[in-house]
Amino acid sequence: MTVATYTKVDLKQQLKKMGIKHSDSILVHSSMKSIGNVTGGADAVLDVLSDYMSDGLLVLPTHTWAYIDQNNPIFDVNRSKTCVGILTELFRKRPAVHRSLHPTHSVAALGEDAEQFVAGDEDMDTPCGKGSSLWKLKQRKGKILLIGVDLRSNTFIHGIEEWMGVPGRLTDEHELLYTCLSDGTRLQVPSYRHCGDNWSQHYWKVEDILLTSGAITEGVFGSARVLVCDAAQLNEDISAMLTVNKELFTMNKTIEPQEKMQFLNMLT
């Protein structure tokens, strides 16, 4: 069986087919393994995304929540590795990329206003607070590309739950964490953490509803299935569902038919 190999031209054509504009603001969650064989490997994928978004803003998560905590409280903006994939780790080291300063949920951005976009994450006392980079993505009507991953990897939904005040999603007390800057300065960043059951593992259950409402469309990048999420509509639709049922993502089970119909009637 022949395995497809993709070129930079192939990948750019796929982005165009998905309706991504060069001037868009996009946040990319990704699985390099799912993308498949690309001439030039992971660096070529980043070249494609960076070149294609030359007139817009390219954002990747550079999270460190897996190992920065009260027992290991120092996040070094230049040295702390990401815990969310090879593309994010390579991207944060690239020239002209700016990384935000939140100790557990930093993002890295490339574009004309990238530095302004990531500024202020260190002032948030939650991972995805109002005013954070994720909040700004919603405000500027950006898109979220889930390349080879699904809604369970979409940190933006954590943000929606925070902004909606869904109970049980944050710890009762801050952890005192620190961000170490390039010059050695340490900033105190007291922050609540996401807690409780692993709520994000339950986000899958609304995918078909959001595909029907138009908040999500589908595409392909390399060999990977892509979910293209409209950040503003995703926020509106999930907020509406959470208004009806704040426990929507508490249990890892399918939505009952009656409730699903209620959601669909409300959103479409």
Cite the DSSP H helix spans in 70-132.
Answer: 86-92, 114-118
pLDDT for position 3? 79
CA distances from 245 to 85, 105, 253 (A): 33, 27, 14
Contacts (Cβ under 8 Å, ≥6 apart) of 265? none
Residue 131: is its pLDDT beyond 90? yes
What's the pLDDT at 227?
A: 98
Q: Which residues of 220-259 are buried (b: 16+ CB within 10 A; e: fewer)?
A: ebbebebbbbbbbbbbbbbeebbeeeeebbeeeeebeeee
Rounded-to-integer distance, Cα 108 and Cα 26, Å: 12
Which pLDDT tens digit goes with each residue over 78-117?
A: 999 999 999 999 999 999 999 999 999 999 999 999 999 9
What type of residue is 96? A
pLDDT-derived band at 251 (thresholds 50, 70, 90) equals confident
Neighbours of 73 (CB within 10 A): 16
Relative orientation angle of helices 155-164 and 231-244, to the nearest 10 degrees = 50
Residues 6 or more apart in contact with residue 257 via CB below 8 angstroms: none
Q: What's the length of the chain?
A: 268
Which pLDDT tens digit goes with each residue over 206-245?
999 999 999 999 999 999 999 999 999 999 999 999 999 9
pLDDT exceeds cutoff 80 at 29: yes
Query: Nearest 5 degrees, angle CA 133-CA 137-CA 138?
Result: 120
Helix/strand/coil for 115: helix
263-266's contacts with Cβ under 8 Å and 24+ in sequence apart are: 263/206, 263/209, 264/209, 264/212, 264/213, 266/240, 266/241
Q: How far apart are CA 106 and CA 100, in angstroms?
A: 5
CA distance 135 to 16: 26
- Cα 254 to Cα 60, 169, 208, 257: the distances in Å are 30, 20, 11, 9
What confidence tier does 195 reach under pLDDT thresholds 50, 70, 90?
A: confident
* CA–CA separation, 64 and 30 (whole Å): 16
What are the tokens at 156? 């933006």
User: What does the pLDDT read at residue 1?
Assistant: 63
Q: Is the pLDDT of residue 197 over 80?
A: no
Structural domain boundaries, residue 77: 5-267
Q: Specify the pLDDT at position 81.
A: 98
14, 219 contact by CB (below 8 A): yes
The 10s digit of each residue's pLDDT in 134-179 is 999 999 999 999 999 999 999 999 999 999 999 989 999 999 999 9
> How many percent of the chain have pLDDT more than 90?
94
* Tally of domains within the chain: 1
Give the pLDDT confidence score for residue 196 in this predicted structure.
Answer: 66
Residue range 3-31: mean pLDDT, rounded:
97
Q: How far apart are CA 172 and CA 168, in angstroms?
A: 9
Average pLDDT, the chain: 96
**pLDDT of 56:** 98
Strands 175-180 and 74-76: parallel
